[in-house]
Structure 1
Amino acid sequence: MLLGRNSKCWCGSGEKYKKCHMEFDEKLKEYAKAGYQVPTRDMIKNAEQIEKIKESAKINTAVLDEVAKHIKPGMTTEEINTIVHNFTVEHGAIPAPLGYGGFPKSVCTSINDQICHGIPSEDDVLKAGDIVNVDVSTIYNGYYSDASRMFKIGEVSEEADRLVRVTKECMEMAIANVKPWIPMGIIGATIQEHAHKNGYTVVRDFGGHGIGVDFHEDPFVFHYGNENDGVLMVPGMTFTIEPMINEGGYELYIDQDNEWTSYTDDGKLSAQWENMILVTEDGCEILTY
């Protein structure tokens, strides 16, 4: 739809198009003519939406901080679920995983060779030497946020410690390369290079995603690939970067009993870190730390 200069902007800001996204759209057209894949309008958030997403993200971060205070050997993953659920609800929010696609709990807890989407259980008791990913997602006033952290339970092996550290480095290095008006492929290329340099592999079946107005939005964020591939990152985009790095091969399988939890095919360790990112005019902002 063609908009007049004085029409209300398509982004929902209420501002006139000429003062809001008109110059932005012209720049986007130039990139499209040059052969770049440009984002659709629904990938771009306005200022009001961004502020509400940030409010959700603050609660999401506080939930992970609360888990960090209590997680220890002897704790069950069901106890982690209880902490997450109660803290989220007490702060006026909703745990996004609960009931999503039939997922039965309020958080994902993935231990050792579990890659992601582990279901909390009274039967899963954390012990010294374990590494566990706690993946928290929050809905607050209708807006979504998502982040995860790795926790080392007691003293862990050198191999486990190194995997957790390098995986976090992969995420941080990728975030450092998020800048407007360059292809999203830089994220995957950065993660892949650092993981491979350290002798690890990158899970290919899962990736990051747009988030904010809904739980999972476009674009899909690849954690491997060519730096020149993918949609152009532009100001106002919000998405997750959440590399899953394996000690062995990247192949996986899904638990046939619960149809959620994914495991490394070779039984070796896997780690994941996740943050939620806002693309800004001159770089990016981490929303969930």
Structure 2
Amino acid sequence: MCGRFSLTATPREVQEPFGLEEIEDFPARYNIAPTQPILIVAADRPRAEGDNRTDRRALLARWGLLPGWVKDPADFPLLINARAETAAEKASFRTAMRHRRVLIPASGFYEWHRPPKVSKQKSTPYWIRPTGGGIVAFAGLMETYMSPDGAEIDTAAILTVGPNREMAPIHDRMPVVIAPEDFARWLDCLNQEPRHVADLMVPAADGCFEAVRVSDLVNKVANTGPEVQKPATGPEPDAIPARAAQKPKKAKPADSAPDQMKLF
């Protein structure tokens, strides 16, 4: 799964590769957690009747997808991730897979290697960043949820898939990464059904990311500065074997203020 990620690029560095005409200013964020607002890129409706071209827009969404049919969010699981292999079939994701696919800009993500239960070692956090720096686009899904009182909130989830070479020793899942040349196809929900973009939902190419062991500062949502990405010091943990497939654990909501959607 992907339970934390980062976006430290400047608005300009996001605007150009994602083809955005405009974007509001936002701060660098080093430790983005579930239920917090995340930046997503969506395709607008066609410009005119018969014109299949679309503009792209950047907007904020709560990280934790809420399908429109949910009656009480408090009684619904926090859906921060969706398994790419089954998203088109699951009731919580299939409508978004067909009609509301989005891109989620990121500077990288965090993952924890969890040793066997018999081991005395603690979980080891890793900062997974693009080799050579830069930003990537996670494949995402979006739903606009309307509460009983009529308030609307955009929500989103990150699609995940099995690991590539760098991730396999650390965790059995990783975010789906959409290459720039595939942005238009992924966002085109008018002409591209889920089966047409299934080939995009694969592990990132080997060598695309590098894993940096970091300290446990990243474990706390309150730690939001660049220190969470500083390489850890001290001896390396015991060699970590490739993980077998495991059932993903439910994510816990992060503490968030009522005005959290104003972070940007």
In the superposition, the TM-score normalised over structure 1's length comes to: 0.24
Q: Which has the higher helix share?
A: 1
Would you tell me which structure has more strand in proportion to its own residues? Answer: 2
- Determine which structure has more spread, i.e. the larger CA radius of gyration: 1
